[in-house]
Amino acid sequence: MNILLLGYGKMGKTIERIAMERGHQIVGRIDLGNRDEMEALGAQDVDVAIEFSAPEAAYLNITYCIKKGWPVVSGTTGWLDHKAEIEDLCKTNGGSFFYASNYSIGVNLFFRLNKQLARLMNGQGYKASMTEIHHIHKLDAPSGTAITLAEGLVAETDHLSQWKLAPEQSDDAITILSEREGEVPGTHIVKYTSEVDTIEIAHTAHNREGFALGAVVSAEWLPGKKGVFGMEDLLSHLDD
Ligand SMILES: NC(=O)c1ccc[n+]([C@@H]2O[C@H](COP(=O)([O-])OP(=O)(O)OC[C@H]3O[C@@H](n4cnc5c(N)ncnc54)[C@H](O)[C@@H]3O)[C@@H](O)[C@H]2O)c1
Ligand SMILES: O=C(O)C1=N[C@H](C(=O)O)CCC1
């Protein structure tokens, strides 16, 4: 496949390597300063675009791809207030859009485990909280993964209706503590505490390979499908 990379930073470079190992061609590496190269590409030059850029850039990048008729896989976090607009644009234009806050298979299994644990803990008198730890270069907080985990937990817990970023807190919210340390690729801990004990589940990424592989596999899956998709569509063969 001919893949266009939008955002050529840590993720763009890791995705490039994995895509080439899997036999794909990279037809453009778009970052700040060379957008003219993207504008020179026609609808037929790109089978799929993979977008990992920055919170302030994702909306326009994805819009550009959809209008150009390129299927687009995005993993950028910190812009999801505008996701509904992108979904509308995609449907109006007959486009193909795939989004995941985290492309790692392990994290997507962890999302399911998180919801199962939340169902078990519902009404048992425990207080839920979450910690996410990432590298010091990360621009957004909380992480997109933490938001997805919080949404899953809230959906399964009667007395919770929202998440809050620490130090904010309220009785109807799960609090997310965001820590930034060195080069940590991504750690998420969901914790339930009572007077007598604590139950925790954690996912620790050792590097960016899992995120990048998941994005490339999603890019292989998307072309030819019309609409808005996510990891649950890709992984629907993994039963609960
Ligand atoms: N969904 C996932 O699985 C997953 C995994 C890792 C990272 N991420 C997210 O992906 C994004 C990128 O992560 P990263 O670690 O590669 O960051 P990075 O800072 O290393 O790279 C981002 C690149 O995007 C470029 N950029 C900024 N504005 C741009 C624009 N308008 N057009 C094109 N490029 C632009 C930057 O110059 C930079 O080179 C972040 O939002 C991060 O949270 C998601
Ligand atoms: O390195 C990052 O930035 C990451 N961002 C995603 C998030 O915000 O959840 C996924 C993990 C790595």
Q: Is 101 annotated as a binding residue?
A: yes
Of 183, 190, 219, 166, nearest to 49 by C-alpha is 219
**What average pLDDT does the chain have?**
97
Where are the domains positioned within the chain?
2-103+209-234, 105-204
Domains 2-103+209-234 and 105-204 share a fold: no
Write the pLDDT tens digit of every residue in 202-231.
Answer: 999 999 999 999 999 999 999 999 999 999
The ligand 2 atom nearest the CA atom of 147: 9
Reply yes or no on domain 2-103+209-234 having CATH 3.40.50.720. yes
Contact assessment for residue 223 and residue 48, using Cβ atoms and an 8 Å cutoff: yes
Amino acid 120: pLDDT: 98
**Which tokens in the block code for residue 151?**
């949404």
Kindly report whether the peptide bond that precedes residue 167 is cis, defined as omega within 30 degrees of 0.
yes
Q: Which two tokens stand for residue 66?
A: 């959809």
**105-204: CATH superfamily:** Dihydrodipicolinate Reductase; domain 2 (3.30.360.10)
- Give the model's confidence band at 240: pLDDT under 50 very low, under 70 low, under 90 confident, else very high: low
Rounded mean pLDDT of 115-137? 97
Residues 6+ apart with CB under 8 A from 196: none
- Mean pLDDT for 146-160 is 98
Residues framing ligand 2 (Cβ under 6 A) = 77, 101-102, 134, 138, 143-145, 186
Start-to-end CA distance of the chain, whole Å, equals 32
Please give the distance, rounded to the nearest whole angstrom, from the Cα atom of residue 10 to the centre of ligand 1.
Answer: 7
